[in-house]
Amino acid sequence: METTNVNVNMFEALKADSHSSPEEPPYDPLPPIEELPLPPTFRWGTATAAYQIEGSPVADGKGASIWDTFSHLSPSRTNNENGDVACDHYNRVDEDLDLMASYGVDIYRFSIAWARTIPLGGRNDPINAAGIAFYNKLIDGLLARDIEPVVTLYHWDVPAALYEQYGAFLNTAEFVADFESYARVCFEAFGDRVQKWITFNEPYIIAIFGHHSGVLAPGRCTEAGGDSSREPWVVGHTLILAHAAAVGLYTRDYAGIQKGEISIVLNGHWYEPWDASDPADREAAQRRLEFYIAWFGDPIFLGRDYPPAMRTQLGKRLPQFTEGERAQLMELAPRHTFYGMNHYSTKFAKALPSSPPLDDCTGNVEELSTDKAGKAVGPVSGMPWLRVAPLGFRKLLGWIWARYKLPIIVTENGCPGPGESQMPVEEAAEDKFRMTYLGLYLDAISRAITEDGVQVEGYYVWSLMDNFEWSAGYGPRYGITHVNFQTLVRTPKHSAWYLNRTFEERRRGSQW
Ligand code: GBH
C-alpha cells in the first residue's frame, strides 16, 4: 500500500499558500502534526448522503424529493447543476464498496433516500420493494467486507409529495406521523443488520438554510413567500418531535431485539469572542453556540426546554412543548448513547448592540472570520467559511462533553483544498492541504481524550468521494477520492492512504 509521509510541519506550506493572496488575513501558527495516539477501540470511516452521490432519480420506481425539485429550478439555485447523475453510486455500488474496503474503513455512514423506499413518502403510501432492495444490497455488501453500516434516515431529501401536500416540516403533526412510519419501514427492513441509526442530519441546516435564508431546499425565506421570523422555529420543533417519535419507536419495539443505538447528528462551528476582553462578546460566543447547537441538544439530550436565551429573544415565535411532549423528551433523553457531531471550522462572535430584528436566528450575534485584531483562526481552505482551526474543534468537543456527557462520534469532518476544483486529477490527488487538516483535527481529538477527559469514539471523514455539494454544485471537492464527473472514474487521493495508515498507527499508540 502506498503511504504518504505528512509527519512534517505543513504550516510553512500553508502560510505560503495563504500569503499568495494579498487579502488573506494573518493567523497564529498552527501546531505541527504529531500523529498522537487514539484508543484501540476508536473506529473510523467515511460518510456520504444519498442525494449527493446516488444519481438515478427515477430508477426502479423512486419518487421525487425536494432536492430533485430544487436542483431543477430556473433560474438555477444550484450552480446550473443537479444530482441526476452525481457519482452514479446507484449503479456503481460494488465498485464503491471495494474502494472503501481498500481504504480499510471500520464503518460507512450513508443516508437512505426516503423517496426510494416510499416514493410518495406518506404513512399510507406504498413501499417500493426495489428501493429496499438497493439498500439491502449496500448493507450486505458492507457486512461482507466487514464494514459496519451507520445509517442516516434523513439527509435533506424529503419526498416532494409531502412538501406539496402539507409543507413537510411546516406541519408538525403530519410530518411526525409520516417520519415515524418511514422509520418503522427502515427498522423492519434493515434493523436486523444495522446497529447505528441517525434520525436527522443537521437539523439546524434544515431549519435555517432551508427555511430562513432559503439557500438549500425547499428554499423558503420571507422574500420567497415564507416567513423567516417564524418558520425556522416551527421546523426545528417538528424535527425534535419527529426525532423523539423515531427514538421512542426504536426503543419500544426494536432495540430489545436488534440491539442497536439511535441518535441524531448536530452540526456547529466553534465560536471565539471577537474581542476576548469584552464580556459582551464572550457572552455572544456562548449564546451563538446555544442558538446553533443547544437549540436541539437541550431538548433531545437533556429533556429540557429550549435554552433560556432563545426563549427570551424569540418569545412566542418559539413553539412550546406540551406537558406530554416534555414528559416524552425527559423519558427519551437518557436513551441516547452517543452524540453525532458534524464539525468543520471556527468563527468569531461579536455582540450586536441593538435589539435583534424579528428574523434574527443567531442570538443577535455578528459572525466574522477575523477577530478585533484582524487575525483569522487559521488558513483558509477551498471554502471561504472553512478555516483550519483544530483548537476550536478541541474546545467544541469539550463544550459538548461538558453539556451532554455523552460519548461523541465525529460523524463528519473534512475540507476541500484551496484551488482543488481547478486542478487536474494528478494534482488534486496529492492533497497535502487536506492531509494537514485531517492530521491536525485528529490530534485535537487525541488531546481532547487524553488531556481533557472527553470521550470520543469515532471519526467519519466527509467524504468518501467528491460529490454534489448542494447549492454549490460540483465545485467544492470534499472527497478523499477524486471523482471525474464526466467519466465517473474514481481516483484515491493521498489523504485516503494517510487516514488508512494513521489510524493503524494511532490505534497502536502507547497510552492504551
Ligand atoms: C455538511 O453540512 C453536510 O452534512 C454535507 O452534506 C455537506 O456536503 C458538508 O457539510 C460540506 O458542506 O453560513 O457562511 O458559515 C455542513 C453545513 C455548510 C454549515 C456551510 C455551514 C457555512 C456557510 N455547513 N455552512 S456560512
Q: What is the pLDDT of residue 18?
A: 46
Catalytic residue, candidates 202, 272, 457, 469: 202
CA of residue 36 relative to chain centroid, distance: 25
Q: What three-state secondary structure class fits 265?
A: strand
Residue owning grid cell 473510523: 44
Q: Is 437 left (phi over 0), alpha (psi -120 to 50) or beta?
A: alpha
| Model pLDDT for residues 427-478, shown as the tens digit of each residue | 999 999 999 999 999 999 999 999 999 999 999 999 999 999 999 999 999 9
For the segment 36-69, what is each residue's pLDDT rounded down to a tens digit? 999 999 999 999 999 999 999 999 999 999 999 9
What is the best residue among 67, 344, 369, 383 to mutate for testing ligand 1's pocket, by most ligand atoms within 8 Å of CB? 344
Residue 469 Cα, ligand 1 centroid: separation in angstroms? 9
Peptide bond preceding 334 in cis form (omega within 30 of 0): no
> How many angstroms separate the Cα of 170 from the Cα of each of 213, 234, 321, 419, 471?
16, 6, 16, 39, 22
Look at ligand 1, atom 14, and give the residue with the nearest C-alpha.
385
202 a catalytic residue: yes
Give the mean pLDDT of 503-508.
95
Mean pLDDT of the chain: 96
pLDDT grade for 21, boundaries at 50, 70 and 90: low
How much is the pLDDT for 121?
Answer: 99
Q: What is the pLDDT of residues 94-124, one digit of tens each?
A: 999 999 999 999 999 999 999 999 999 999 9
List phi, psi (to 5°) of 109: -100, 120
Integer-rounded Cα Rg, in Å, for the chain is 22
**CB-based pocket (< 6 A), ligand 1:** 49, 52, 201-202, 205, 267, 342, 385, 412, 462, 469, 478
Neighbouring-strand partners of residue 261 = 196
Sign of CA pseudo-dihedral 481, 434, 407, 53: negative
- pLDDT value of residue 512: 78
pLDDT digits (tens, 9 = 90+) for 163-173: 999 999 999 99
Distance 413 CA to ligand 1 centre (A): 10
Interval 145-154 mean pLDDT: 99
pLDDT per residue as tens digits for the range 66-80: 999 999 999 999 999
C-alpha to C-alpha distance for 479 and 474, rounded to whole angstroms: 11
Minimal-distance CA residue to ligand 1 atom 18: 205
From the candidates 412, 420, 457, 469, give the one annotated as an active-site residue.
412
Smallest Cα–Cα separation from 395: which of 308, 268, 280? 268
- What is residue 3's predicted lDDT score, i.e. its pLDDT? 39
Instruction: Check if 148 is active-site.
Output: no
Rounded CA separation 232/105 (Å):
37
Q: How many residues does the chain have?
A: 512
Q: What value does the mean pLDDT take over residues 352-375?
A: 97
Give me the phi and psi of 166, to 5 degrees please.
-145, 15
> Which residue puts its alpha carbon closest to atom 12 of ligand 1?
469
